[in-house]
Structure 1
Amino acid sequence: MRKHEKLYRIAIRIPLVALVVLTAAAFYWNPTAYRVFLPISAAVVLLSLLVLMRADQALKRFAQDTGKRVEDLLAKTPTEIPMPVLVTDEKSEIVWYSEDAYQKVLGERDWYGMPVAGLLGETIPESGCFPAVIDRRDYSVYAVKGLGAHEGMHTYYLHEDTALKHDAKQYWLSRPSLFAIMIDSLDEVLQDARENERSQLIAQVEYVIEQFVSENNGFVIKTDRDKFFAVIEERYMKGIVEKRFVLLDRVRALSGVDKLPVTLSIGVARNVSSYPDGEQAARQALDMAQGRGGDQVAVKTPNGYDFYGGLSKGIEKRTKVKTRIVATALSELIETSSNVIIMGHKFADLDSLGAAVGLLRASRQMGKSAAVAINRTKNLVGPLLERLEKNGYENSFYNPSDLFDRIDARTLLIVVDTHLEHVLESAELYHLCKNVAVIDHHRRMVGYIDNAVIFYHEPYASSASEMVTELVQYFGRQCHVTRIEAEALLAGIMLDTRNFTIRTGVRTFEAAAYLRRQGADTVEVRKMFSSTMDDYQSRSRLVSSAEIYHRCAIAINTTVSEDIKLVAPQAADELLSISGVDASFVLYEYGDTVSMSARSMGKINVQVIMEALGGGGHQTMAATQIPNISLEDARQKLLEAIESYDQHNKPQE
């Protein structure tokens, strides 16, 4: 509106000035013309003055009308409003502002007729409160939309809260983030070290931790030989996260005796409401980091956890103290139960069934009624299941729904080879049982079973079958496995170690040696891994169709196959034998979902990549399922996950 008013006045003044100039020129150069121009000029000037007068009167009437509309809009608000107020018309131009707004907000500058967006910003809601910055001062602006005859007009009430917002910002920046820090497997790292080497290594780790905390203006205290607690303000957390917790890399650069890597597990609680709550959250996050194999940070968030690191291979724990304690507790739990049900994950594999059979044998030797819950039509253990039923286990394996009527208040459910509710063979069976024990070797994930009486979780173990083999040896003299159970357990170990080539430690071979002493025949076990000609050909086609991307082999199955769930992981294993391949991924459709099997030789952590797509697993063996997506879209998501992993993680040599 202000722009239109100026244009109108300019349009009137230019012809008047031109006419006066022409009349004056005629006076000097042509008196005859002057006598003609003079009355014409006088008439035009007089007419123009009359027009300007009428225009001024129209503007005054507009101002009076606007003032009346503003007064009606502001209703009972007094004329001298004790806060800045602006009023705009249908064109979002300022048509009125209070004296307070003129002096304190506008800096005594005239904003009449100017667009309000130039003052409050381009994005202005129809109503409600929104922030604005004017001359480096913060305001909370309350917009009120006019109604009825005033529809289209808006009133804006401005409340300056620069100091308040500054204080609020400083408050949130100064909130403490609590760090629970632990040196991973310190006893194993220092087991063969001399006393001076132990002191030197611990001192080096302490110095690196203290230096990191000092750089971020925090403080740290040592609570135990291998445990620390630190507090850092939130203002420094953004930089720490952007650098992906460089403390992990600094400590990893150190090395213990025999070049064993020194790593940290860190649990972080951000924006805590109180120190006791923060300490508890930090310790829970530390447990999560350790449960995932260590050498990583778990940050507790409102929606779960964020993870950083996790690149190193875990150090195998050589002591079996924990195994003996768990074996004693589990045997007592079995003896006090009325009956035992053992259950693994969906699409049971050899490791899941092998561990279940080992516990089934032990429970029956303790005199308890025991059964294994398994989907008899959807599993990957057909040959083993058939062999077991031909050798005395014909009444041992049931569909989960067939076991519901056996459950009472003293029934014990033992979950093996998983710790996640959503991948259990039957979540309903799990909810019906009040007493639950969990035995698993997969790295801990968000959403784990948290109501277990016994939660035996060992991410350094090669397989659940290895863990059960160790437990059975401590159940007592009355418990031992025969040849058929030993072969089932050995098959589980061989599956998850790929015939003892990855994730194997001293305890893995000790467990295998025990099973061999119990009569396990490696030839018979190897037969369980045999496949049909059709499966072999399908696997060969998958391997030959693979593409290489960032040292990762990616194969996509486009044909319909009944045994694809068995063929896909086998193809993923075979792709790792190709030179220059550090990880392999096989994608296939199953129902309305796209499944991925991921394998690695250790340089690339496929667990992290699969977690980015909603899955999980181990550093060298992982998987995921993505519902309602095409194979090509799933492939693109996988490529993005690999690219993101490559940017944030350096493969370990």
Structure 2
Amino acid sequence: MNKKINRFKIFTAIIFSIEIISLIIFMLLYVFDVFSLKTYIKSIYFLYITIFFVGLDFIYVLLVLYSIFKIRQKSDLRTVDIVGNDIKEAYNFGCLSFIVTDENDIVLWESDLLLQKQSNIVNKNVYDWCPKLRDLINKDIGDTILVNLNGTYYQVKYLKSAKLYIFKDVSEYENLYNMSKEQATCIGIIMIDNYADVVGTNDDNNDLIARVKNIIFEYAKEYNVLLRHFRSDAYFSVCNYESLSKMEDDGFSILDKVRSLGVNENSQPTLSIGFAHDFPDVNKLNNMASNAIDIAMSRGGDQAVVSKFGSELAFYGGKTEAVEKRNKVKVRVVADSLIGLINRASNVLIMGHTDMDMDAFGSALGVKAICDSFNKPALIVYDPKLAEKKVRTAVASQFDSGELENLIIATKDVKDKLKPQTLVIVVDVSRPSITMYPKLLASADKVVVIDHHRRAEEFIDNPVLSYIDPSASSASELVAELIKYSSSSSQIVLPSKFATFMLSGIFLDTGFYKSKTVGLRTFDASAILKEYGADNALADDLLKDEYEEYTLVNRILGTMKTPYYGVVCCNSGDSDIIERSTLAKVANQCMQLKGINACFVIGKTAQDEVRISARSDGGINVQILCEKMGGGGHFSMAAVSFKGKTCKEVEDILKETLDDYLPQARTSEMKEEN
């Protein structure tokens, strides 16, 4: 039809052009009296001629309009004729509908079936009616999209050459899919974190546990969750996805309800929850739920972890500091297991994290001392380029070349020391991507993890021993306890120099015992190190700033901003490359100011890297905030790094994260104060 209309346009233009040219020529001939026209023709005749042509044109336009009408009518009839009643019934049975558009995306025709279910859209822009159809423009011929029009689901295909949209009604299948998804099985585990501590020997605490269990059962009843008590402190749970979604939307409020029971009690009960979904095999779901509960507990408890197959973990809660749950018996069991693994190994390689700080190096020295005490060859994987300046300076000043030869090994030489029975011990980190030499983990068969940071989703695969305790202030604290409380403690010799480095690591991670992570165990560990001859004056000296760093810290402090009440942010800018330890020092300095609950210090730590160092007084979980930006860490100490961004861009990301997640990161006590 469009081709015929175009022919009419061309023909009309030709006729009108001929008329105009003829009139102009005739007028010129008359004006210049060519052929003595003035003698034969009067001027009034020009008016008659013009009227004649206008009338002729009017009749022509009417004929054209009538022809277009007849063509459109014939076109509509032809569509019906082609489809026919039988084919039309087949289309209706297959729930197929059609839309035809012109080159301007205006709807020329829609099938009866679509007209019945939707409104009349003829002569309307198809993208104004359904904007999602634009997605089909750049797709391949066989591609389809799913659209929802007034509650009806259609699978849509676009034939570009014909300007034809084919709609297939798939509402029945989509509704069945959504129903099956909502009814899909979800498996979970609910555990009371500190059950033994809460029960204790006090009869009143038995009443507290009874109230905790009552809340668990009421919550399960509210959300249609099936519970089975399989241990004194744990429940196996089964529900459908619809119930799990409601609990996620609710933010697992049971965590707050249980925590509130301990407000006026000596012990505060908390829960760890792990759920798994989106996989048909219940055995696999059970394993996923077990991993989720392990992660929740290793992150300090008081949180829920939801594991969706093939997706990142979702975290809820985590608003309280990890409570000290270590005891000498547990430490002895871990220490004896570690020593057993060391004795059975051919040699040991010890590794910390990139940008190795004093705690990572100190705890590595502690593990090295254990290995030396049992005559097991052990070396610390060390790259000066991946260590903080203070560590580089301390290592160079405290160890001579002969000592270093038996102490450290460069990353390029690690392969030569790797054997089938080699044991790799990772300290102060559990994320493989930020270890000193990640390739070592891929090649090693046996790996031990000793860390005090909350476990992240990324974790070292299948360690033979994992000792993660977020309630500890530092990795050096954990290693000091392993040395002291092992059954073979009398055989372990910890050199005073090693003990001094470990004490310096505790000083660093606790801010000289000012951090909220400091507990009774921290002072006990410091006392243990003093017993082994740690020099606290030297430990302090190893952490002292140079004059340039001191002035730099003060300059960065001068950039302090307050995006939220009690929350400050400092930005060093892109002009200087800052040591990570300097950023941490600025953050610690910020926390010395009254009224500050959390601080975030932004700085450029490499040519293509910008880092945020975060600290809090325990009122805000900075780990949650850093995890939202791709980092992690501890409840009151965390960090995150960005590649290929400026400090200003990172500051904008931080502000967006605070806008979205700061209320979630505040502890319940903090909310009550506000």
Give the structure-2-normalised TM-score. Answer: 0.81
Partner Cα separation in structure 1 for residue 610 and residue 288 of structure 2 = 35
Alignment-derived partner of residue 554 in structure 2: 540
C-alpha offsets along residues 79-135 of structure 1, whole Å, 9 cap, x if unaligned?
A: 6544254352526566666xxx53x5534999695548499745434665445566x
**Which residue in 1 is equivalent to 2:422?**
411
Q: Which runs of 5+ in 1 are unaligned?
A: 2-47
1:618 & 1:309 partners in 2: Cα distance?
14
> Does the Cα contact within 8 Å between 1:347 and 1:375 map onto a contact in 2?
no
Query: Is 1:635 aligned to residue 651 of structure 2?
Result: yes
1:488 and 2:495 correspond? no
The answer as to 2:289 corresponding to 1:271 is no
**Contact 2:121–2:129 under 8 Å retained in 1:** no
Query: Distance between the aligned counterparts of 2:119 and 2:185, measured in 1?
Result: 47
Residue 9 of structure 1 corresponds to which residue in structure 2? none
Deviation at 1:289, TM superposition (A): 0.8
Alignment of structure 1 residues 208-607 onto 2, 5 Å: 208-255=215-262, 258-301=265-308, 302-380=310-388, 381-390=391-400, 393-395=403-405, 396-473=407-484, 474=486, 476=488, 477-502=490-515, 503-550=517-564, 551-558=566-573, 564-590=579-605, 591-607=607-623
Q: C-alpha separation between the residues in 1 aligned to 2:464 and 2:273?
A: 26
The equivalences for 1:15-94 within 5 A come to 59-65=69-75, 67-68=77-78, 78=87, 81-83=90-92, 84-86=96-98, 88-90=100-102
Gaps of 5+ in 2: 2-57
Q: Which residue number corresponds to residue 650 of structure 1?
A: 666
* Residue type at the aligned position of 1:242: D
Question: Residues 66 and 632 (structure 1 numbering): CA distance in 2 closer, same or farther, change over 3 Å?
Answer: same
Given that residues 105 and 127 in structure 2 are in contact (C-alpha distance below 8 angstroms), is that contact kept between their aligned partners in structure 1?
A: no
The 1-side partners of 2:250 and 2:313 are apart by: 18
1:172 to 2:186 alignment: no
| CA distance in 1: counterparts of 2:641 and 2:151, whole angstroms | 50
Correspondence for 1:29:
none
- 1:587 is aligned with what amino acid? I
Matches of 1:445 and 1:379, distance apart in 2? 23
Q: Is the 8 A contact 1:220 1:231 kept in 2?
A: yes
> Do the aligned partners of residues 63 and 276 (structure 1) sit closer, same or farther apart at CA in structure 2, a change above 3 Å counting?
same
1:596/1:66 Cα in 2 relative to 1: closer, same or farther (>3 Å)? same
Indicate conservation of the 8 Å contact 2:625/2:665, yes or no: no
Distance 1:324 1:446 in 2: 28
Q: Once superposed, what is the RMSD of the aligned Cα atoms?
A: 3.3
Once residues 364 and 168 of structure 1 are traced to their aligned partners in structure 2, the CA distance between those partners, rounded to angstroms, is: 61
The Cα offsets for residues 438-474 of structure 1, whole Å up to 9 and x where unpaired, read as: 1111100111101322122122211111111111231
The TM-score with structure 1 as length reference comes to: 0.83
Query: Matched residues in 2 for 1:458 and 1:555: separation?
Result: 30
Q: More displaced, 343-352 or 489-498?
A: 489-498
Query: For 1:294, what is the secondary structure of its paired residue?
Result: coil
Aligned pairs (5 A) from 1:129-168: 129-131=144-146, 138-145=152-159, 147=161, 151-152=162-163, 154=164, 156=166, 158-168=167-177
Size of the aligned set, in residue pairs, is 596
Using the TM superposition, name which of 451-460 and 627-636 deviates more: 451-460
SS in 2 for 1:504: coil
Q: How many Å apart are 1:155 and its aligned residue? A: 5.5
Residue by residue over 1:140-192, the C-alpha shift from the partner in whole angstroms, topping out at 9 and shown as x without a partner, is 35445274xxx44x253x5444443333222212223322111112112333x
On the 8 A contact 1:189/1:257 being kept in 2, the answer is: no
Give distance in 1, aligned partners of 2:244 and 2:128.
34
Question: Hey, what's the Cα distance between the residues in 2 that align with 1:484 and 1:507?
Answer: 22
Of residues 613-622 and 390-399 in structure 1, the stretch that sits farther from structure 2 once superposed is 390-399
Question: Is the 8 Å Cα contact of residues 181 and 227 (structure 1) preserved in structure 2?
Answer: yes
Give, in angstroms, the shift of residue 337 of structure 1: 1.6
Q: 1:356 to 1:108 in 2, by over 3 A?
A: closer
Q: Residues of 2 paired with 1:629 and 1:168: CA distance?
A: 42
Distance 1:60 1:241, change over 3 A: same
SS of structure 1 residue aligned to 2:396 = helix
- How far residue 432 of structure 1 moved from its aligned partner, in angstroms, is 3.1
Determine which structure has the larger helix proportion and give its number.
2
- Residue 357 of structure 1 aligns with an amino acid whose one-letter code is L
1:238 and 1:141 mapped to 2: Cα distance? Answer: 27
Q: Per the alignment, in what secondary structure is the counterpart of residue 259 of structure 1?
A: coil
Q: Secondary structure at the match of 1:529?
A: coil
Are the equivalent residues in 2 in contact too, given 1:189–1:262 (CA < 8 A)?
yes
Q: Secondary structure at the match of 2:336?
A: helix
Q: Which moves more between the two structures, 85-94 or 271-280?
A: 85-94
Q: CA deviation at 1:506?
A: 2.4
Per the TM alignment, residue 58 of structure 1 is displaced from its structure 2 partner at its CA by 5.2
Q: CA deviation at 1:209?
A: 1.2
2:23 match: none
- Whether the 8 Å CA contact 2:91–2:97 is kept in 1: the answer is no
User: How far apart are 1:604 and its partner, in Å?
Assistant: 1.2
Q: Secondary structure in 2 aligned to 1:106? A: helix
Q: 1:208 to 1:383 in 2, by over 3 A?
A: same
8 Å CA contact 1:178, 1:279 repeated in 2? yes
C-alpha change, 1:644 and 1:77, in structure 2 (3 Å) is same
Kept after mapping to 2: 8 A contact 1:213/1:232: no
Secondary structure of 1:579 counterpart: coil
Residues 1:115 and 1:217: Cα distance change in structure 2 (over 3 Å):
same
Q: Which stretch shows the higher mean deviation, 482-491 or 54-63?
A: 54-63
Q: Specify the SS of the correspondent of 1:284.
A: helix
Instruction: Tell me what 2:210 maps to.
Output: 203
Tell whether the 8 Å contact from 1:190 to 1:256 is kept in structure 2 after alignment.
Answer: no
In the alignment, is the contact (CA less than 8 A) between 1:190 and 1:257 conserved in 2?
no
CA contact (8 A) 1:486 1:516 kept: yes
Q: What letter is aligned with 1:547?
A: K
Q: One-letter code of the match for 1:88?
A: V
Aligned to 2:43: none
Identity %: 27
| In 2: Cα distance, 1:334 partner to 1:314 partner | 29
1:546-605 per-residue CA deviation (whole Å, 9 max, x = no partner) reads: 222321222122376676323221111111111111112211112211111111121111
- Comparing 599-608 and 239-248, the one that deviates more: 239-248
8 Å CA contact retained: 1:138, 1:165: no
Q: Secondary structure at the match of 1:394?
A: helix
The equivalent residue for 1:623 is: 639
CA distance in 2, matches of 1:518, 1:493: 15
Query: In 1, distance between residues paired with 2:402 and 2:646?
Result: 45
Q: Following the alignment from structure 1 to structure 2, what is the Cα–Cα distance between the partners of residues 172 and 483?
A: 61
C-alpha distance 541-88 of structure 1, shift in aligned 2 (>3 A)? closer
